[in-house]
Amino acid sequence: MNSLARGSAHHWLYRLGVVLALAMSTLLSGCGYNQIQVNDESVNSAWSEVLNQYKRRADLIPNLVQVVQGYAAHEKDVLTQVTAARASIGGIKATPELVNDPEAFKKFQAAQAEMSSAIARLMVVAENYPNLKADANFRDLQAQLEGTENRITVARNRFIESVKAYNIGVRTFPNNLTAMLFGYKPKANFTVEDEKAIAEPPKVNFNNAPAAAPAAPAAAEPAAPVAPASPAKAP
């Protein structure tokens, strides 16, 4: 008898647990918990691609500096700035958790912006060295850098949209109640002074020849001398 009672109690508790689990699942789904998880994973995936492309760019810098140095060793200031910018990026721990720390994210963005600026200055210097621009290694690095900048732009755009969707989700009702309960907070996002900086990657082009000077206007031909009129004869 006691065995049957215990078996019945266990069965009842099992069924109660299943019902509670289903109720909790429905409740969480209705309060946006599942959508928060989907959005959070989307942000993490997009952030990983951003880091991947920035790392790709950083990996090109040592070879780029070495090639430029071979033709413009006296351009020490620019070369030092590029090297220092890369070292500054290397000192930042770019982890998935960085997007949850606004201050750390701000420092990361500033370091990447400085890297972009340093590369731009280096490219301006390269314009003054025709032999450098004709170097096969330099042209190969140029092509890789152009492709990487484009990939960075695409990755940033995807990340921006993912964070936007996530932040809207955790700030709007009723998802915001679920977010508060489980500790989900808005994530940091990229910001720029000029929105076009996101849509347009930096220009890296050394194939544009300087524009030819405008032709001087043709000198006007001197007018032919007019013959003096013959004096009229007296009648």
Q: Which long-range contacts (CB under 8 A, 24 or more apart) does 229-233 make?
A: none
pLDDT in the model for residue 143: 94
The gap between the terminal CA atoms of the chain, to the nearest Å, is: 165
- Domain spans in the chain, listed from the N-terminal domain onward: 36-199
Overall CATH class of domain 36-199: mainly alpha
pLDDT digits over 3-23, tens only? 555 556 665 555 555 444 444
pLDDT in the model for residue 164: 96
pLDDT in the model for residue 9: 61
pLDDT in the model for residue 57: 97
Cα-Cα-Cα-Cα dihedral sign, residues 186, 110, 145, 205: positive
Q: Is the pLDDT of residue 218 over 50?
A: no
Q: Is the pLDDT of residue 235 over 50?
A: no
Q: Is the pLDDT of residue 28 over 90?
A: no
Peptide bond into 222 cis (omega under 30): no
pLDDT digits over 65-116, tens only? 999 999 998 899 999 999 999 999 988 888 888 999 999 999 999 999 999 9
pLDDT digits over 125-173, tens only? 999 999 999 999 999 999 999 999 999 999 999 999 999 999 999 999 8
Q: Is residue 73 classed exposed, middle or buried when 0-12, 13-18 and 19+ CB atoms within 10 A define those classes?
A: exposed
Confidence (pTM): 0.71
**Residue entry with tokens 């991947």:** 52
